[in-house]
Amino acid sequence: MVSRSIISSMNGKELELDKVLSSHRGEKHAIIIPDFPDADAIASAFTHQLISLQYNLSADIFYWGKINNPQDIVLVKLLDIELIRYSDTLDFSGYDGSVFIGTQGTTTTLRQILEASNIKPILAIDHHEEEDFIHAEFHDIRKASSTSFIYTDYLKKGLLRLERSNPTHIKCATALMYGIMYKTDRYIWAKEEDFQAVAFLSNYADSSLLEEIVNQSRSKKVMDVIQKALESRVIKQNYSIAGVGYLRAEDRNAIHQAADFLLTEENVHTAIVYAILQNGNREVLSGSFRTRKLTLDPDEFLREAFGRGEIEVYYEGKSQKVRGFEIPIFFLAGTGGEEYNTLKWRVYDMQVKQKLFNKIGVSEEREET
């Protein structure tokens, strides 16, 4: 339980959060993280679960898709973080409210399911640009490197007092430390506030656990996608652009890793990798945008290239020069045999490249590869 002396020293968002959580004592909440959660969302949700216990609140963590980054899988297993993957048999009727962490509804399918179940949103805590999809009692949407930073700030201000003798607190600090590390690309993009947060967490985190999480190799699937990106890339005026065909929705992270890899090539300042993600009959064209060019605004570039109403752009971590994007596939969604799929990919691949070439201001003809 949070002590009165600590509460009296609080101000700002942490005091608001304390009041909201206090008003819901004894309830059961569903913590919602993105469909394909990353380390930042997982660490933050785990921390929220621990904070909730201080208010006699029980909370379960839910996601809809799949965890596919090797480091994130190891994070969950090593730290014994219990996550519940949604299935059609899951019943939310026993929950009194929902908590959205690392998402404001656009990156989770569970928002609509909860709305249909009349589960009201209690909290929305996120480091992405503010959106208007969830109308919760409490919002903490701030410009920060990560949601893990926001939760570390809560810990520093007393919402949960970490103890070195408590194994669960050690796991919490380790998870948050990795969440910040992941979102800042191993501190390359970290700011002073991030280093201060990490300094606080280092008093409690287990460095051997952190090392084991970090030192995971890329999966064969990711390596295959990187190889395909290398083979198909087109370089135009320091932009490296690659379409990698069809992928399962759970392999989405491979697109981002391929874009990271292409960005390491000499004389490339921006990498864009995209694929058609398939999940049953539902399909989207999903991509990743990475740039080192300081004068390039990712949001503006993508919206001007693809049309402001046609594309969803979201902050995807590591720095303000990193974006994920999705373009819905409506009428042409679904499979129709190998020949149909090949033709459909050729059309989408040509259309995406043409729009990007037009934005860059170059001709369609192939340059160096």
Answer yes or no: do 32 and 52 share one domain: yes
Q: Where among 214, 248, 277 does a domain terminate? A: 214
Answer yes or no: do 169 and 288 share one domain: no
Answer yes or no: do 246 and 320 share one domain: yes
Average pLDDT over residues 252-277: 93
Q: Where among 214, 238, 257 does a domain terminate? A: 214
Residue 325 belongs to domain with CATH number: 3.10.310.30
> What are 184's two structure tokens?
């800042």
Answer yes or no: do 74 and 13 share one domain: yes
- 368 assigned to some structural domain: no
The mean predicted confidence, pLDDT, of the chain is 89
pLDDT in tens, 87-118: 989 999 999 999 999 998 888 889 999 999 99
Positive or negative, the CA dihedral 82, 85, 91, 96 is: positive
Amino acid, res. 14: E
Q: What is the pLDDT of residue 318?
A: 54
Please check the confidence at residue 250 and state whether its pLDDT lies above 90: no
pLDDT in tens, 282-316: 788 999 999 999 899 998 999 999 987 778 776 66
- Host domain of residue 82: 4-214
Answer yes or no: do 69 and 137 share one domain: yes
- 318 assigned to some structural domain: yes
3-state secondary structure of 135: coil
- 366 assigned to some structural domain: no
Answer yes or no: do 241 and 293 share one domain: yes
Q: What is the DSSP letter of 106?
A: T
Answer yes or no: do 309 and 292 share one domain: yes
* Range with lowest mean pLDDT among 185-189, 203-207, 225-229, 278-282: 278-282
- 369 assigned to some structural domain: no
Answer yes or no: do 64 and 124 share one domain: yes
Q: How many domains does the chain have?
A: 2
Answer yes or no: do 146 and 162 share one domain: yes
- 253 assigned to some structural domain: yes
Average pLDDT over residues 46-51: 98
Residue 132's CB is within 10 A of a number of other CB atoms, namely: 7
Q: Where among 214, 235, 261 does a domain terminate? A: 214
Answer yes or no: do 158 and 249 share one domain: no
- 351 assigned to some structural domain: yes
Answer yes or no: do 92 and 232 share one domain: no
Whether the model pTM is above 0.85: no
Please check the confidence at residue 3 and state whether its pLDDT lies above 60: no
- 235 assigned to some structural domain: yes
Closest CA to 204 of 63, 65, 366, 79: 79
Residue 318's CB is within 10 A of a number of other CB atoms, namely: 19
d(CA 205, CA 114): 34
CA distances from 4 to 10, 16, 20, 253, 316 (A): 10, 15, 16, 44, 38
Helix residue ranges, H only, 160-243: 167-183, 192-201, 207-214, 220-232
pLDDT in tens, 21-40: 999 999 999 999 999 899 99
Residue 37 belongs to domain with CATH number: 3.90.1640.10
Task: Find the length of the chain.
Answer: 369
- 111 assigned to some structural domain: yes
pLDDT in tens, 213-237: 988 777 888 999 999 999 999 999 9
Answer yes or no: do 95 and 172 share one domain: yes
